[in-house]
Amino acid sequence: MESGTPWLPAPVPAATDAQAPVQAWPPVTAPPGTAERPPDLPQTKRRAPRRGMRQRMGAILAAVLAFLAKFKAVLLLLPKLKILTTVGSMLVSVAAYSFVFGWTFAIGFVVLLLVHEMGHVIALRREGIKASAPMFIPFMGAVISARSLGDNALAEARVGLAGPILGSIGSAVCIVIWHATGNDMWRALAFTGFFLNLFNLLPVVPLDGGRAMAAMAPWMWFLGLAAMVPLAFIFPNPIIFLILIFAVYETSKRWRLRRAGGEAQQSYYRVRPLDRALVAAVYLSLIALLVVGMHATTIARTFG
């Protein structure tokens, strides 16, 4: 029925003697608009939608409150989620390394990586710089993020050398456990830790040795870069090639900035001779100790 068509009552058959009179609704004698509708059915139809709407609004409100409560709980757990990210990435790395080295060696290897990275984290926080928790990448090691490495080249050197220092201590602990238990797995872990920390001391950015060179002699970046090129071809490895690519980019960028000069650059690389000598002493001592440690933990291969 169209919306403009008036509603008319259906015709009612006339009453007969054998048939009781049928009352039409609404009564035909009633003036239009004054007829009363049956009280029960229309009132029920009017109230039901209101109750349904209140129920729906109550359900929506309850869902919103539940979401807000869960969102608040997530906000409270954010600091713990960072720890979970570190632990989760450690477990993934352990699982990946275990396919190559076995799960016991994989656990020790990942712990040594953690010790190394925590050296950087501790040094950054001593410099007043907030550092992220370590993130582990299988077969790539671990990384941390920070807004800077310090206010000057000396601070950058301290942060860079802190990782190999603490990492070397962790590797030395493996030697103690090896002598206490006689288990050669700890000897192999010590050798691996010494090697990785020594590799990180190559004088090329972004490795730790390159950070130390920022305070000692930045021109050594080019010497380290020249050493990386034959190394990448003698021992072809995707990781070495990635480091080489980053080294070329980082070295060229930083050298251009230094050549551009400016007060900021001069202030950053201004290091007192005594501090430069101390950085050099720590750097060279670390190299010597790591070489001795590798020699002491070398396992001779036998064929037969």
**Domain residue spans of the chain:** 66-297
| Confidence check: pLDDT of 200 > 50 | yes
The whole-number average pLDDT for the span 288-294 is 95
Q: Among 66-75, 94-103, 111-120, 161-170, name the one with the lowest average pLDDT.
A: 66-75
| Confidence check: pLDDT of 233 > 90 | no
| Confidence check: pLDDT of 33 > 90 | no
Nearest partner of 298 among 165, 201, 195, 199, judged by Cα: 195
Most trustworthy range by pLDDT among 24-28, 33-37, 257-261: 257-261
Per-chain mean pLDDT for the chain: 78
Q: Which residues have CB under 8 Å from 10's CB, separation 6+?
A: none
Q: Which residues have CB under 8 Å from 195's CB, separation 6+?
A: 290, 294
| Confidence check: pLDDT of 266 > 70 | yes
Nearest partner of 175 among 299, 302, 301, judged by Cα: 299
Q: Indicate the pLDDT class of residue 118, thresholds 50, 70 and 90.
A: very high
Q: Indicate the pLDDT class of residue 19, thresholds 50, 70 and 90.
A: very low
Give the per-residue pLDDT at 96: 92
The whole-number average pLDDT for the span 65-75 is 46
Q: Indicate the pLDDT class of residue 130, thresholds 50, 70 and 90.
A: confident
- Euclidean distance between CA atoms 293 and 283, whole angstroms: 15
More confident residue, 193 or 78: 193
- Please report how many Cα atoms fall inside a 13 Å half-sphere around the Cα of residue 217, on the Cβ side: 9
Give the per-residue pLDDT at 236: 78
Give the per-residue pLDDT at 159: 94
The whole-number average pLDDT for the span 279-296 is 95
| Confidence check: pLDDT of 30 > 80 | no
- Euclidean distance between CA atoms 78 and 72, whole angstroms: 10
The whole-number average pLDDT for the span 24-42 is 47
How many C-beta neighbours within 10 Å does residue 40 have?
Answer: 8
Q: Which amino acid is at 198?
A: L
